[in-house]
Chain A
Amino acid sequence: MIQLLKMDIKKLHWKSYLFGFVIINFAISSLVWLIVQEINPTDLQAVYPNYPDYHFIYRFILTIVRISTTIVAAIFMVDLIINEYKSKTITVLFLYPLPRWKLLLSKILLVGVLTTIFFLATIVVSFSLIYMANLYSPIITEQITSFLSLRLYLEVFIQAMVTAIIGFIPLFFGMVRKSVIATMVAAVVLAFNVYLPIHAPNNVEVYGSRPLISIILVVAGVAVVCRFIYRTSQRDIV
């Protein structure tokens, strides 16, 4: 399996990913920083009494990172799975003396791991950029140490895993016609409909914040992966 992962890693476009990662992180931190500067604290304090604090920044970044991670997961799936079908290179892979499920699982694992890494790295980098900006032009006065906690790290990690698993749902739509566009559109629709209402930066929790919805979506993500591996193992490759 390690060897298969290595082979799939070689197929990825690392330079473009790195470039994209840098752009996304600067975009997220600039956007959040600009909005925070534009908001009049007293306006927001009506719904969010502790504003401005690091928790607000964290929730804001989290929302954008969940949306961008879902779209980035779709890009990884397009590169590693959909494009292999479109260019028919998947037929070459299935002629190797390896079980199909193993070849596919390696791709799924790689997408999952890369998506999780992207999520964690983006949270850390974007948050750090805002923290540094705050050092030069302070808006948030609370100490960073009072915000950081083991519970927070655990939450971020779980959020990363959950987002990565939910990010597999667009694969279901993309595989119907082996379509890049269907995968990307499904990812965008999913991301904006599920995540935008969940982590709106206020204290009023909306429907999407309920764990039940996340659990249902995680189950759906796992089901999409299982269906994909099972059906591809049993069916003709046309």
Chain B
Amino acid sequence: MSYIVKTEKLSKQMHKQTIISEVNMHVRQGEIYGLVGPNGAGKTSLFQLLIGLWKPSHGEIEIFGERITNSSYSYLQQIGSMIGEPVFYENRTGLENLQMHLDYMGFYDQQLITETIHRVEIEDQVQKPVRNYSAGVKQRLGLVRAIALKPKLLILDEPSNNMDPMGIKMLRQIIWNLNQQYGITVIISSHHMEELEQLADTVGVLRDGKLTEEVSVRDIKEDYFRYTELTIDSSSQVAHLLENELQLSNYRVISDSTIRIYASTIPTHEIVKMLVTHGIAIHEIKETQDTLEDYILQTYKGGDDI
């Protein structure tokens, strides 16, 4: 399997505190990888390590097949990133900042930024000094800087922060296009789960600096998201019957009178038939789908149980 980003037991300690702990991350070439986790889970810290602003305390990072050391820098040529609130030379105009970016990167094709400015819809702002920008416009300018040169790997940390709904929609479209048209691999963190659900191929769940899960969104959609919800009189009795009569274990008791059966291979009518024959009164049957958000929340709850 070809991974564009791979970390092995990646750890970071700062001020005697463990911020990132033994993270084994695997990002495939050409995919959109969503990184989720509560505030303070270590998402931004993990990104800082990937782009070399922070140096790992332990473990290894491999990007584009190259092992990253404290003095590596050439891999940054192929990475576009926006981590945290984007930073600019505030007294310069947006255009001057972008021009500076081109100069440092060794690109001289002005067209690259002109096109991206148009795409991100900030043509009327780029001639003004950055200090006059709103947080949302700054975020858009940061996006232009990250994507203008069509990097192989794009790392975006909470890119929709400060953006209005139109901006978020545009952002989603841009990420999707970059990924589909140019095969750009994207690692994105976001609090907007529905955004990730629509975009991401893989989701990594980060909690207290640990990558607790790394799952394919398609797989969890098949295995987890789809479920049948039954409203009955006694959940424990139904759970007993499901296990013993149909050998079903992929269910969750939601309340005394509600039970969910996930991705069952047995058709719903067979389940209903079995329950009715055992004298169970079924008050309601609901075929529905969980969201990624539900899945992540369940994962967190699982962690709490531990």
Contacts and interface: CB of A to CB of B under 8 A. Distances in A.
**Are A and B part of the same complex?**
yes
A198 B176 CA distance: 68
B295 interface: no
B73 A89 contact: no
Contacts of A30: none
B53 A237 contact: yes
A98 B73 contact: yes
Interface string A115-128: 00000000000000
B104 A94 contact: no
B209 to A, nearest CB: 16
Given A87-B90, A89-B87, A234-B70, 17 more contacts: A10-B100, A91-B87, A92-B87, A93-B104, A94-B52, A95-B51, A95-B52, A95-B53, A95-B79, A97-B73, A97-B76, A97-B105, A233-B70, A236-B14, A236-B53, A236-B55, A237-B54
A98 B74 CA distance: 7
Contact of B87 (A3, A10, A87, A238): A87
Interface in B161-176: none
The 6 tightest CB contacts between A and B, nearest first, are A97-B77, A97-B76, A236-B54, A96-B104, A88-B87, A237-B53
29 contacts: A7-B100, A7-B103, A7-B104, A10-B100, A11-B89, A87-B87, A88-B87, A89-B87, A89-B88, A89-B89, A91-B53, A92-B88, A92-B101, A93-B104, A94-B53, A95-B51, A95-B81, A96-B76, A97-B73, A98-B73, A99-B71, A100-B73, A234-B70, A235-B55, A236-B54, A236-B55, A237-B53, A237-B54, A238-B54
Contacts, number: 54
Contacts of A238: 54
Interface in B99-131: 100-101, 103-105
A95 B76 contact: yes
Interface in A208-238: 233-238
Nearest to B89: A89
A112 B81 CA distance: 33
Interface in A48-104: 87-89, 91-100
Interface residues of B, number: 25
Interface in B39-61: 48, 51-55
Contacts of A7: 100, 103-104
A126 B52 CA distance: 48
B124 to A, nearest CB: 24
B275 to A, nearest CB: 59
B51 to A, nearest CB: 6
Nearest to A90: B87
A3 B104 CA distance: 8
Nearest to B54: A236
B73 A99 contact: yes
B55 A96 contact: no
Nearest to B104: A96
A88 B48 CA distance: 14
A10 B81 CA distance: 24
Interface in B198-255: none
Contacts of A96: 76, 104-105
Contacts of A237: 53-54
A206 B294 CA distance: 79
Which of A3, A93, A98, A100 counts the most B-chain CB atoms under 10 A from its CB? A98
Contacts of A93: 104
Interface string B65-93: 00000110111110101000001111000
A88 B87 CA distance: 7
A87 B75 CA distance: 25
A53 B55 CA distance: 60
Contacts of B101: 92
Interface string B1-29: 00000000000001000000000000000
Which of B73, B76, B81, B105 counts the most A-chain CB atoms under 10 A from its CB? B73
Contacts of B104: 7, 93, 96, 98
B104 to A, nearest CB: 4
A234 B53 contact: no
Which of A7, A91, A235 counts the most B-chain CB atoms under 10 A from its CB? A91
